[in-house]
Amino acid sequence: MRRLDVLAIQRISAAEKAQIEAVDPAIRLTDAGGWFDGEYRETWPERAAARYLAPTAKGSGSRSERDRLLAEAEVILGGWPFPLDLRARAKRLKWFHQRPAGASNLRLGDLWGSDVVVTTSRGAGNTLAMAEYVVAGILYFAKGFFRAGIDREAGAFDHRAYRPLLLEGKTLCVVGAGGIGCEVGRLSAALGMRVVGTRRYAAPDASLPVGFSRLGGAGDLDGLLPESDVVAICCQWTPETTRLFDRDRFARMKAGSVLVNVARGEIVEEEALAEALAHGRLRGAVLDVYVGEFERLPPPALWRDPRVLVTPHISSYSDHDRHRAIDMFCDNLRAYLDGAPLRNVVDWQRGY
pLDDT tens sequence across 249-265: 999 999 999 999 999 99
In the predicted structure, residue 201 carries a pLDDT above the cut 90: no
Sheet containing 75-78, strands listed edge to edge, beginning at the edge strand earlier in sequence? 27-31, 4-8, 75-78, 95-98, 117-120
Catalytic residue numbers, as ranges = 264, 293, 313
Question: Per CATH, which fold does 127-310 belong to?
Answer: Rossmann fold (3.40.50)
* pTM of the predicted protein model: 0.91
pLDDT band at residue 141 using 50, 70 and 90 as cut-offs? very high
Are the C-beta atoms of 322 and 329 separated by less than 8 Å? Answer: no
Ranges of each domain in the chain? 4-124+323-338, 127-310
pLDDT of 202 reads 82
Distances (CA, A) of 318 to 198, 223, 241, 327: 27, 35, 28, 19
In the predicted structure, residue 129 carries a pLDDT above the cut 90: yes
> Hey, do 4-124+323-338 and 127-310 end up sharing a CATH topology, with the first three levels equal?
yes
Q: Which CATH number fits domain 4-124+323-338: 3.40.50.620, 3.30.70.1450, 3.90.1150.10, 3.40.50.720?
A: 3.40.50.720
pLDDT tens for residues 226-238? 999 999 999 999 9
Pairing of strands 212-216, 27-31: unpaired
**254: CB partners within 8 A, 6+ apart:** 225, 226, 227, 228, 229
pLDDT tens for residues 289-321? 999 998 899 999 999 999 999 999 999 999 988
Determine which helix (DSSP H) or strand (DSSP E) holds 260, and give its type and residue range. Answer: strand 257-261
